[in-house]
Amino acid sequence: MNQTKYMKMSKDNKDKKVKLNKDSFKNIIRFALPYWPWFVLAFALIICISVADILQPLIIKFAIDDNISLALVNEMTIDEATKNLGMLALVYVGLALIHFLFGFVQEYTLQKTGSRIIMEMRNKMFDHVQRLPFSYFDKTPVGTIVTRICNDTSAISEFYTGVLINFFNDIFIMVGILITMFIMDVRLTLLTIAVLPLIAFASITFRLKARKAFHRIRTKLAAINAFISEHVSGMKIIQAFNMEKKKDEEFAEINNDYYDANMSRIKIFGIFRPFMDVVKSFSLALVIYIGAKQVIGTSLEVGVLYLFIRYIGNFFQPIMNLTEMFNTTQSAVVAADRISSVFDTKPESDHEIREPLLTPENCRGRIEFDHVWFAYIDEIWVLKDVSFTVEPGESIAIVGMTGAGKTSIINLLCGFYEIQKGSIRIDGVDIKDMTKQELRHLVGMVRQDVFMFSGSVLHNITLDNDNITLEQAQEAAIMTNADDFIRELPGQYDYQLNEGGSVLSEGQRQLISFARAIVTNPKILVLDEATSNIDSETERLIQDALVKLMQNRTSISIAHRLSTIQNSDKIIVLNNGRIMEQGSHDQLFEMRGLYYDLYRLQFE
C-alpha cells in the first residue's frame, strides 16, 4: 500500500488539536483598520436604510388610516384624499429611491473595500513570501503557498463584506430590543434571556467544532492545490510511466478527504443553526407558560404578554443573523490563522536599510570560507570545516563526486542558507553583515536547476530588469551562443516561452540562463554545471568567450568535465563535505590523489 505524503498529512491533522494563533483575529481587524471611514460610512448607510425601511410601512398605514378610511366616511374630500394618496405614493417611491441609492452605495463600498483589503493583504503576503529563506520553499509545496496567498485571503473577504458591519448592526438591534423589553417587564425579560447561557454554551461548543472543520477544509484545499500544481508540472512523467490510474486514485483520496471535511462542516452548521431555533422556541414556550400563569394570576396584562411574544421573535432575529455569520467568521478566522502562519515565518535575516558596505563597483571579489560547517537539517553535516580563499580576479573550480556539497557551497556564498559554524567573507566583510540583496547583487550565477518563466526570451534574459538594454541582452546571448538559436525562433527575442520553458530544448534553456547570469555583469560569477547539457563544440565556444569575460572578476565554477575547469587558477576537490585537495591542476595531478582518480577515468 502506497502511503503518499498527502495521506500522511491528513493523518497528522486528525491527531493534532486545532490550536489557533491568538493574533489571527487581530490580523483580520488590523488589515481593515485603515479603512475604518468606509466601514463607518457603510454602517451609517445601513442605519439610514433601516430607518427608511421602518418608514415605508408607516406610509401605507397613513394612507389607509388617515386618508382612505377618512375619505370613505366622508371626513375628507375625495380630491384631497387622492391628492394625498399621490403624495404618499411619491414619498413612498422617494423612500424606496433612498433605499436603492443608499443600498447601492453601501453594498458597493463594502465590497470594494473588502476587495481592497484583500488586495493589500495579498501584496503584503507576496512581499513577505519573497523574503522567506530557501529552507521554507524546500519544505513547502508551491501549491500550498498559492493557496495561502490566493484562496485563504478570499475566504476572509466575505468577513469584511458580510459580517463586520452587520455584526454591529445586529448587536445594536439586540441591545435596543433588550432595553425595550426591560422597560416593559423585568421578570419576563429575565426569563427570555435565561436561555442566553445556553446560546453561549452552544456557540462555544460549535465554535470549536466549526474551527476544526474549517481547519480540515483549508488543509485539504492546500493539499489539493499542492497536488495539482505538482502533478501538472510532472504530467510528462506520469504519462510516460503509465501512472494515470494510480495518480487518479491518489487524487481521489485527497479529493474525498476534502469532501468529507466539507460534509462535516455542513453537518455542524446543519445542527447549529436550527438549534438556535429550538432555543428560541424553548424561550418562547417558557415565556408563554410562565406569562400565562401570571396573566391568570392577574399580575400581567395579556397585551404585554402578546408584545413579549413578538419581541422574542425580534430579539432572536439578530441572534439568528449572528449565527449565520458564524460560518463566515469561523472560516475567516481559520483562514487568517493560515495566513498568519505565513507572516510568522521569519524572513531571511535582514538589516535595516543603510549604505551598502559593498557594491558591484567597489567590490574586489575576494572570497573567504573560514572553517565553515553547514547542515540543511539538524546535524547532518553537508559541509565540514570548509576553508578556502579566492583572490580577486581568480577563477577557481570545485570538483567532487555527486552529492559532495559543491552546490551547497554556492548556496552559502549567496546567503541562501545560514551556516552553523565558521564564517564566510567577501572582501573581508562577513556576509552576515550584508543585506541579502547587497550580497546577491555581487554574485551572478547559473544554477544547476534551470528555470524559465513564461514570457519572452528577452524577459527571461533580463528578468524585467530595466537597466538592461536589448543590445546588452543580445551581447550576452551571443557570448553564450544562445543568439544563434534565438534568431531562428519565430519572433526571435520576443518568442514566448511557457512556464518552465519546455518549448525549448534543455540545452537551449541552459544557454539562456547562462546569458541571464552574465548580462548582469556581476563581480563574482558562479557557474554551477552551467554547461552540463551543452555539446562540446558549443561549450568550447562559450569557454573561449568566457576567458575574456572572466578577466577581471572572480569566478567559481563547478563541473564534471575537465573542459570547464581547465582554465581555473585553483581547483578544490571536495569529498563528502570536506576539502580533500586544493591546488592547480598540475599540482593536483602530481599528487595522484582523488583528483587524479576522478579524471583519469574520462576516456577509459
Partner 1 sequence: MNGNDGSKMKDSKWVRDFEKSNDKLVLRFLKANGVRYLFGFLFFAAVNLLQVVTPRLTGDIIDELYKQNPDLSLIAKFAIVIFALSIVIMGLQFLGRLTVLGAGTLFDVLMRRKLFRKLLTLSMNFFHKKSIGDIMALSVNDLNAVNRAIGHGAMMVSNTIILAVVSIVAMGETMSYKLTLMIFIPLPLLVFTMYKFGMVINRKFRKVQDRFGELSGKVQENIAGIRVVKSFVREESEQKSFEKVNRANYDAEVEMALVNGLFMPLISFISSFCYLILIYFGGRSVIVDQSISIGDFVAATSYITLLIRPMQMLGRLLGMVQRGKASMGRIYDLFEEKPDIVDHKFNQNDVDIKDNKLKGKIEFKKLNFAYNEKNGDVLKDINLVINPGETVAFMGTVGSGKSTVSNLLIRLFDTPERGQLLIDDMDIADIPLKTLRGNIGYIPQDNFLFSDTIRYNIGFSPDEMNDEQIEEAAKTSDIYDTIMDLPDQWETMLGEKGVNLSGGQKQRMCIARAVAKNAPIMIFDDCLSAVDMETESRILKSLKDVQSKRTCIIIAHRISTVKDSDKIVVLHKGRVAEVGTHEELLEKQGYYYKSYRIQLLEQQYGVGLKDAKGEKK
Ligand X SMILES: Nc1ncnc2c1ncn2[C@@H]1O[C@H](COP(=O)(O)OP(=O)(O)OP(=O)(O)O)[C@@H](O)[C@H]1O
Q: CA separation (Å) from 374 to 131, 334, 528?
A: 21, 37, 19
C-alpha cell at 343: 507572516
Which of ligand X, partner 1, Mg ion, none does residue 553 bind (CB under 5 to 8 Å by kind)?
none
CB of 104 to partner 1, least distance (A): 5
Q: Identify the three-state secondary structure at position 416.
A: coil
Q: Which residue is nearest to ligand X (CB)?
A: 507
The DSSP symbol for 33 reads: G
CA triplet 116, 163, 121: central angle to 5 degrees?
A: 30
Smaller CB separation from partner 1, 368 or 539: 539
Which of Mg ion, ligand X, partner 1, none does residue 169 bind (CB under 5 to 8 Å by kind)?
none
Q: Are 486 and 476 spatial neighbours (Cβ–Cβ below 8 Å)?
A: no
- Per DSSP, what are the bridge partners of residue 455? 497
CB of 22 to partner 1, least distance (A): 28
Q: Identify the three-state secondary structure at position 504.
A: coil
Binding mask 504-533 for ligand X (x = CB under 6 A): xxxxx------------------------x
Q: Identify the three-state secondary structure at position 362.
A: coil
Within 8 A by CB and 6+ apart from 222, the residues are 143, 144, 147, 148, 338
505 touching Mg ion, by CB under 5 A: yes
User: Which 480-509 residues touch partner 1, going by CB under 8 A?
Assistant: 481, 485, 489-490, 498-500, 502-508
Q: What does DSSP say about strands 421-426 and 367-375: parallel, antiparallel, or unpaired?
A: antiparallel
Residue span binding ligand X (CB under 6 A) among the ranges 112-120, 469-477, 498-506, 546-554: 498-506
Number of Cα atoms under 13 Å in the Cβ half of residue 386: 34
Q: Are 559 and 573 spatial neighbours (Cβ–Cβ below 8 Å)?
A: no
Which of partner 1, Mg ion, ligand X, none does residue 449 bind (CB under 5 to 8 Å by kind)?
partner 1
376 touching ligand X, by CB under 6 A: yes
Among 46, 143, 412, 474, contact with partner 1 (rule: CB under 8 A):
143
| Alpha-carbon torsion (180, 183, 185, 186), positive or negative | positive
366 touching ligand X, by CB under 6 A: no
- From CA 118, how far away is CA 154, in angstroms rounded? 7
CB of 108 to partner 1, least distance (A): 3
397 touching ligand X, by CB under 6 A: no
Among 72, 175, 179, 503, contact with ligand X (rule: CB under 6 A):
503
User: Which 331-360 residues touch partner 1, going by CB under 8 A?
Assistant: none
Residue span binding partner 1 (CB under 8 A) among the ranges 219-227, 318-326, 331-339, 549-557: 219-227
441 touching partner 1, by CB under 8 A: yes
User: Which 234-273 residues touch partner 1, going by CB under 8 A?
Assistant: 234-248, 251-253, 255-260, 262-263, 266-267, 269-271, 273
- From CA 115, how far away is CA 127, in angstroms rounded? 18
- From CA 562, how far away is CA 26, in angstroms rounded? 59
Residue 460: which of 493, 483, 489, 437 has the closest Cα?
A: 493
CB of 357 to partner 1, least distance (A): 16
Smaller CB separation from partner 1, 296 or 353: 296
Among 13, 50, 233, 314, contact with partner 1 (rule: CB under 8 A):
233
24 touching ligand X, by CB under 6 A: no
502 touching Mg ion, by CB under 5 A: no
44 touching partner 1, by CB under 8 A: no
Which of Mg ion, ligand X, partner 1, none does residue 453 bind (CB under 5 to 8 Å by kind)?
partner 1
User: Which 60-89 residues touch partner 1, going by CB under 8 A?
Assistant: 60, 63-64, 67-69, 71-72, 78, 81-82, 85-86, 88-89
Grid cell 394618496 is found at: 85
- From CA 471, how far away is CA 29, in angstroms rounded? 50
The DSSP symbol for 451 reads: -
